[in-house]
């Protein structure tokens, strides 16, 4: 058996290198080949933007190994995506954040709640008069998790990270309107928006925020929105990522979550060009599958994908 050991090891190494096919280098940041094993026991932050088709799901592993899932895709395919991130014996998710009640963001949450023990659920409180939403709402409260409704700006500290919840900044259960708006701007603009900072690097998660919410965030937070990694709002649709917002955020990396050859035309070529003009590197789940960001220290981080692609 020993004579086969070296070839098998070499084969496994080559397979690992093949999976981590696209590695992004950014200036002086040291970006090197890495896999999950490399980070075990380290103080790294890992953010995985999951390929779930035309939908949204992001899985965060904090430096203390606590986990957060942001949105759950459109259906049970979220479980397959989580299977790429979590050991088969792991049945606990510490935090579940549901940004807003569009099915491509919360449709798989019932499956998640059935499969995993969830300790904390974070939601905006927005109600939707729909049978599926009522089923989801019942599952959410039957879970027995600690429920957190975002009704104002606040800060959480998880491990050595800082989460800054920027929106909603009022109770959306009582009032769906953006402050100053004369009409309801819809569920997309009821998205939870928050930043995540670790080791001097900042991520921004915007759900399906459209132009109205982006402009409100600009007026309220201004320079605080300057980040390193942006999850583009509403899958890169033409109604999001307005010029002023992108110029203020100036992300080094921008992630677009969209389904392959989707009928919506996401992400919009116009929006991708807008992002590219501020010097941001573009990453797409429809072409590159899972997008993985590792922060090891203020001087050492890398971004990679599980599939190569040219676009």
223-232 tens-digit pLDDT = 899 999 999 9
Across the beta sheet with 201-205, the strand order is: 154-158, 161-167, 193-198, 201-205, 229-231, 253-256, 281-284
**Residue 165: which domain range?**
2-305
Residue 185 in this model has a pLDDT that exceeds 50: yes
The answer on pLDDT for 22 being more than 50 is no
> CATH number, domain at 156?
3.60.15.10
Using the predicted structure, report yes or no on whether residue 41 has a pLDDT greater than 70: no
What integer pLDDT is reported at residue 42 of this predicted model? 58
| Residue 39 banded pLDDT, cuts 50, 70, 90 | very low
Query: Could you tell me the pLDDT band of residue 298, with boundaries at 50, 70 and 90?
Result: confident
Q: Hunting for tokens 């501020």 — which residue is that? A: 278
For residue 300, name the pLDDT band (cuts at 50, 70, 90). confident
75-97: pLDDT as tens digits: 999 999 999 999 999 999 999 99
The backbone region for 276, taken as left when phi is positive above 0, alpha when psi lies in -120 to 50, beta otherwise, is alpha
Distance CA 143, CA 296 (A): 34
User: Would you say residue 212 lies in a domain?
Assistant: yes
> Does residue 311 fall inside a structural domain?
no
Kindly tell me if the per-residue pLDDT of 16 is higher than 70: no
Residue 198 lies in a domain: yes
As for how many domains the chain has, the answer is: 1
Flag whether 310 is in a domain.
no
Query: Within a domain: residue 60?
Result: yes
How much is the average pLDDT of 117-127?
95
Share of the chain above pLDDT 90, in %: 72
Any domain includes 159: yes
């Amino acid at each position: 058996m020993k004579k086969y050991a070296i070839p098998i090891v070499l084969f496994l190494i080559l397979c690992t290198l093949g999976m981590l096919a696209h590695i992004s280098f950014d200036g002086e940041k040291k970006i090197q080949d890495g896999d999950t094993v490399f980070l075990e026991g380290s103080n790294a932050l890992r953010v995985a933007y999951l390929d779930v088709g035309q939908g949204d799901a992001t899985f965060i592993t904090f430096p203390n190994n606590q986990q957060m899932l942001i949105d759950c895709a459109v259906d049970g395919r979220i479980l397959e995506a989580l299977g790429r991130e979590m050991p088969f014996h792991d049945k606990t998710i510490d935090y579940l954040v549901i940004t807003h009640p569009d099915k491509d963001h919360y449709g798989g949450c019932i499956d998640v709640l059935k499969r995993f023990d969830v300790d904390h659920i974070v939601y905006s409180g927005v109600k939707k008069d729909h049978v599926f939403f009522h089923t989801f709402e019942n599952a959410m409260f039957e879970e027995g998790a600690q429920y957190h409704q975002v009704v104002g700006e606040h800060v959480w500290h998880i491990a050595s990270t800082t989460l800054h919840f920027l929106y909603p900044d009022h109770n959306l259960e009582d009032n769906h309107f953006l402050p100053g708006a004369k009409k309801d701007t819809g569920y997309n603009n009821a998205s939870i928006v928050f930043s995540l900072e670790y080791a001097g690097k900042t991520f921004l998660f915007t759900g399906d925020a459209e132009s109205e919410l982006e402009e409100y965030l600009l007026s309220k937070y201004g320079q605080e929105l300057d980040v390193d990694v942006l999850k583009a709002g509403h899958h890169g649709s033409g109604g999001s990522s307005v010029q002023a917002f992108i110029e203020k955020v100036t992300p080094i990396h921008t992630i677009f979550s969209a389904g392959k050859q989707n009928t919506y035309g996401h992400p919009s070529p116009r929006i991708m060009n807008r992002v590219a003009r501020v010097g941001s590197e573009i990453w797409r789940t429809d072409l590159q599958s899972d997008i993985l960001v590792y922060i090891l220290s203020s001087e050492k981080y890398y971004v990679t994908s599980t599939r190569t692609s040219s676009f």
